C-alpha cells in the first residue's frame, strides 16, 4: 500500500464512478469534490488528527465525498444509520466523542436539537465545500479511519474502529477474490453504515474503477427495471432481499417475472451474505435465474473472512474458505485448535482485515482477542474443506434481515415501559427475516398490553427494524437457580 494509493481513489478519469437518480459523476468529478470537502473540513489546519466526524445521509455523491473527504483530511469517519432513533444517535455521538456532524436538508433538520444539546457543530456538505483545493496531509496506513457501531452481547452498541490499513485489506482481498474490474456495474441499495454496503459494494466498486448505482433504499420496482434493462453485471444482497424479490414475483405478471429473471441470468456474479442463506433459497434462486449464489461470511470487526470460490464449486449452506490474506481457525471450548473435519468450533480470525479496537473500550477489545486471534463468537464446522456456520455462541444476538441486533439493548428499552415488569427478547426463525424479534413480557399487576400499543410506544425509542414483530405475555419468565432468565426454555415455549 503506497501513501497515495489509499484513501485516494485510484481512477481519476472520465469513467462514470457514481450514478444517483438521473445524474452521473465521473471519477474526476468525484475526486475533485472529495478534495474540496477535505480542504473545507481542514479549514486551514494541516491535519484533522483523528477528529471524529459523523455524517447522516443516504448513499449519494455527498456521502462518498464526505466519507473520503474525512479520510483524506485525517479524520475518523462515522457514518450513521439515517433510520436511527434519537436515543440511539445520542449514544453514538456521545460515546464516540463526535465534534462535527454533516447532514443535509431534512436530515439536518432532524438533528438540530440533539446536536445543539450535545454541543456538536452541525453543518451541511455545501457549508464545508471549499472553492480551492489545499495541500492534504499524508495519511499513514496505521491511522484510524472509520468507526462503525455494532450491537453485541452488551446492551449498548460499540464503536468498531478500523485503520486505513484495515479498510485497504478488506477491500483488496475482495477485489482479488471476486475478480472486480472497472467494467463492473453494481447497484447499492443496502444501508451505508455497515460493512456490506460500505466495503463490499461501494468501496470495492470505487477501488476497482467500476460504476456504483446508488439508491437511497431497496426500491424493488426501480431496481428490477434496471435489471430488466441489463444495467448491472454484479448484484450483492442479504438473503432477505432475495426472499423479498421472490415474494415480489408472486405479485406481478409471469412475463414480468421472466424478464427480471432474464436480467439476472447473464450477470457475472450474485452474492449473498450478512446472514445465513437457506439451502432452499439458494436452490430457488438458481432455478429462477440460473445464478449460483456465492455465499460469504463476514463481520463488522473483520470485513469479510470466508467466501465460496468465484471459480469453482459454490456449495449451498456453506461459506467457503478463508479469503486471501485472512487466517481462520476453529477453536474448541478449551481454546484448543480444532483440527478434525466435522467437529464444531468457534471461528477465530487473524489478518490485516481485522479491526484495531472498540472505541474507548479497552476491556471489550482485550476480551475479544485471544493469542492474537479475534474471537467472532460464531460456531462452524469444516466439511470437505468448506466452512459451514452452525450458529452463534450467544443467544442474545439476533440477525434480522441482515441487521445484527442485541436482545439486551431491546430489553433495556422495553423495560422503560410503565406496564412491563420483566422482559426477555429472543430471535425466532422467520422465512423473510431469517430471525425475527420476539419479546416475552411479564406485566405489572393489574395492567394489560396490546401489541399495537407497544409498537407505537417503541416508535422513536429504537430503530423500526428492532421493534419486536411479536410479543407473548407470560406470568413469569423462566429462570435458573441464579435467577438468570433461561432463554432456551423460552424457545421451547414456542
Ligand atoms: C425493515 N424492517 C425490518 C428490517 N428491515 N424488520 C426486521 N428486520 C429488518 N432487517 C421492517 C421495518 O421496520 C418496517 O416495519 C417494514 O419492515 C418495512 O420497512 P422497509 O424499510 O420498507 O423495509 P425494506 O426496505 O424491505 O428493508 C428490508 C431490507 C433492510 C432491505 C432487507 O432490512 C436492509 O437493508 N437490510 C440489510 C442490512 C445490512 O446491510 N446488513 C449488513 C450488516 P413496519 O412496517 O412495521 O414499520 S454488515 C454485516 O452483517 C457483515 C459485515 C456482513 O457479513 O455483511
Ligand atoms: P455484523 O456485526 O452486523 O457485521 O454481523 C456479523 C455477523 O453476521 C456474523 O458474526 C455472523 O453471525 C453473521 N453472518 C454474516 N455472514 C453470514 C453468513 N453467510 N452465514 C451466517 N451468518 C453470517
What integer is the mean pLDDT of 276-297? 98
Task: Determine the Cα–Cα distance for residues 87 and 299; give it in Å rounded to an integer.
Answer: 25
Task: Determine the Cα–Cα distance for residues 109 and 111; give it in Å rounded to an integer.
Answer: 5
Could you say which DSSP state residue 448 is in?
A: -
Domains by residue range for the chain, with CATH = 16-201 (3.40.50.12780), 397-492 (3.30.300.30)
Task: Determine the Cα–Cα distance for residues 181 and 170; give it in Å rounded to an integer.
Answer: 16
What integer is the mean pLDDT of 95-106? 97
What integer is the mean pLDDT of 413-435? 97
Q: What is the DSSP string of 151-210?
A: --SSSS-EEEEEEHHHHHHHHHHHHHHTT--TT-EEEE-S-TTSHIIIIIIIIHHHHHT-
pLDDT at residue 1 greater than cutoff 50:
no
pLDDT at residue 6 greater than cutoff 80:
no
Specify whether the backbone of 448 is left (phi greater than 0), alpha (psi in -120 to 50) or beta.
beta
What integer is the mean pLDDT of 209-218? 96
Q: What's the 86 CA to ligand 1 centre distance in angstroms? A: 18
CA 263 to chain centre: 26
Which phi and psi angles does 68 have, rounded to 5°? -70, -35
Task: Determine the Cα–Cα distance for residues 296 and 301; give it in Å rounded to an integer.
Answer: 15
Angle at 436 between CA 434 and CA 442, to 5 degrees: 155
Q: What's the 396 CA to ligand 1 centre distance in angstroms? A: 19
What integer is the mean pLDDT of 292-296? 98
- Residue whose CB lies within 8 A of the most ligand 1 atoms, among 377, 465, 466, 471, for a mutation test: 465
Answer for the pair 319, 306: CB distance below 8 angstroms, yes or no: yes
Task: Determine the Cα–Cα distance for residues 202 and 184; give it in Å rounded to an integer.
Answer: 12
Give yes or no for residue 300 CB within 6 A of ligand 2. Answer: yes
pLDDT of residue 149: 97
Cell numbers at 338, concatenated = 480444532
What integer is the mean pLDDT of 284-290? 98
Give yes or no for residue 273 CB within 6 A of ligand 2. Answer: yes
Task: Determine the Cα–Cα distance for residues 143 and 160; give it in Å rounded to an integer.
Answer: 14
Task: Determine the Cα–Cα distance for residues 466 and 237; give it in Å rounded to an integer.
Answer: 20
pLDDT digits (tens, 9 = 90+) for 224-261: 999 999 999 999 999 999 999 999 999 999 999 999 99
Buried b (16+ CB within 10 A) or exposed e, 65-104: bbbbbbbbbbbbbbbbbbebbeebbebbbebbebbbbbbb
Looking at the CA of 374, which ligand is closest? 2
Q: What's the 137 CA to ligand 2 centre distance in angstroms? A: 35
What integer is the mean pLDDT of 402-422? 96
Task: Determine the Cα–Cα distance for residues 162 and 147; give it in Å rounded to an integer.
Answer: 6
pLDDT at residue 108 greater than cutoff 90:
yes
Q: 131: pLDDT confidence band, cut at 50, 70 and 90?
A: very high
pLDDT of residue 233: 98
pLDDT of residue 2: 44
Angle at 191 between CA 187 and CA 195, to 5 degrees: 90
Cell numbers at 400, concatenated = 434480522
What integer is the mean pLDDT of 270-278? 98
The minimum-distance atom of ligand 1 relative to the CA of 455 is 46
What integer is the mean pLDDT of 97-101? 98
pLDDT at residue 155 greater than cutoff 80:
no
Alpha helices in 43-60 (DSSP H): none
pLDDT of residue 494: 84
Tell me the average pLDDT of the chain: 96
In this structure, of 184-188, 324-328, 351-355, 489-493, the range with the lowest mean pLDDT score is 489-493
Amino acid at each position: 500500500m503506497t501513501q497515495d494509493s489509499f484513501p485516494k481513489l485510484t481512477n481519476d478519469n472520465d469513467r462514470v464512478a457514481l450514478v444517483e437518480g438521473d445524474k452521473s459523476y465521473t471519477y474526476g468529478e468525484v475526486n475533485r469534490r472529495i478534495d474540496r470537502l477535505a480542504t473545507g473540513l481542514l479549514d486551514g489546519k494541516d491535519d484533522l488528527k483523528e477528529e471524529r466526524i459523523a455524517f447522516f445521509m443516504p448513499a449519494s455523491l455527498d456521502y462518498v465525498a464526505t466519507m473520503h473527504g474525512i479520510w483524506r483530511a485525517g479524520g475518523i469517519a462515522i457514518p450513521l444509520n439515517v433510520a436511527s432513533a434519537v436515543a440511539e444517535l445520542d449514544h453514538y455521538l456521545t460515546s464516540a466523542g463526535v465534534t462535527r456532524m454533516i447532514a443535509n436538508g431534512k436530515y439536518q433538520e432532524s438533528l438540530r436539537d440533539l446536536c445543539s444539546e450535545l454541543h456538536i457543530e452541525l453543518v451541511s456538505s455545501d457549508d464545508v465545500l471549499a472553492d480551492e483545493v489545499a495541500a492534504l496531509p499524508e495519511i499513514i496506513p496505521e491511522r484510524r479511519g472509520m468507526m462503525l457501531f455494532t450491537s453485541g452481547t452488551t446492551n449498548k452498541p460499540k464503536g468498531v474502529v478500523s485503520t486505513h490499513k484495515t479498510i485497504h485489506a478488506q477491500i483488496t482481498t475482495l477485489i482479488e477474490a471476486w475478480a472486480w474490474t472497472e467494467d463492473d456495474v453494481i447497484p447499492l441499495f443496502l444501508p451505508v453504515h455497515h460493512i456490506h454496503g460500505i466495503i463490499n459494494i461501494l468501496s470495492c466498486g470505487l477501488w476497482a474503477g467500476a460504476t456504483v448505482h446508488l439508491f437511497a433504499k431497496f426500491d424493488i420496482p426501480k431496481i428490477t427495471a434496471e435489471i430488466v434493462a441489463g444495467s448491472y453485471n454484479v448484484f450483492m444482497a442479504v438473503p432477505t432481499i432475495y426472499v423479498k424479490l421472490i415474494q415480489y414475483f408472486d405479485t406481478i405478471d409471469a412475463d414480468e417475472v421472466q424478464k427480471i429473471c432474464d436480467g439476472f441470468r447473464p450477470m457475472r456474479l450474485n452474492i449473498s451474505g450478512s446472514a445465513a442463506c437457506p439451502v432452499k433459497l439458494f436452490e430457488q434462486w438458481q432455478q429462477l435465474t440460473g445464478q449460483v449464489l456465492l455465499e460469504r461470511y463476514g463481520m463488522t470487526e473483520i470485513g469479510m473472512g470466508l467466501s465460496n470460490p468465484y471459480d469453482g464449486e459454490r456449495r449451498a449452506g456453506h461459506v467457503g474458505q478463508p479469503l486471501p490474506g485472512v487466517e481462520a481457525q476453529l477453536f474448541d471450548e478449551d481454546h484448543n485448535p480444532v483440527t478434525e473435519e466435522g467437529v464444531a468450533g468457534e471461528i477465530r480470525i487473524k489478518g490485516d482485515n481485522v479491526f484495531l479496537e472498540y472505541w474507548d473500550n479497552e476491556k471489550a477489545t482485550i476480551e475479544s482477542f485471544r493469542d492474537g486471534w479475534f474471537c467472532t463468537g460464531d460456531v462452524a464446522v469444516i466439511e470437505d474443506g468448506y466452512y459451514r456456520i452452525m450458529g452463534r455462541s450467544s443467544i442474545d444476538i439476533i440477525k434480522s434481515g441482515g441487521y445484527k441486533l442485541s436482545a439486551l439493548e431491546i430489553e433495556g428499552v422495553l423495560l422503560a415501559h410503565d406496564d412491563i415488569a420483566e422482559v426477555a427478547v429472543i430471535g425466532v426463525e422467520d422465512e423473510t427475516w431469517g430471525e425475527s424479534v420476539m419479546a416475552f413480557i411479564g406485566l405489572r399487576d393489574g395492567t394489560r398490553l396490546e401489541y399495537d400499543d407497544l409498537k407505537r410506544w417503541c416508535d422513536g425509542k429504537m430503530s423500526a427494524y428492532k421493534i419486536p414483530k411479536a410479543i407473548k405475555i407470560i406470568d413469569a419468565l423462566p429462570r435458573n437457580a441464579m435467577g438468570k432468565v433461561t432463554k432456551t426454555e423460552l424457545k421451547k415455549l414456542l
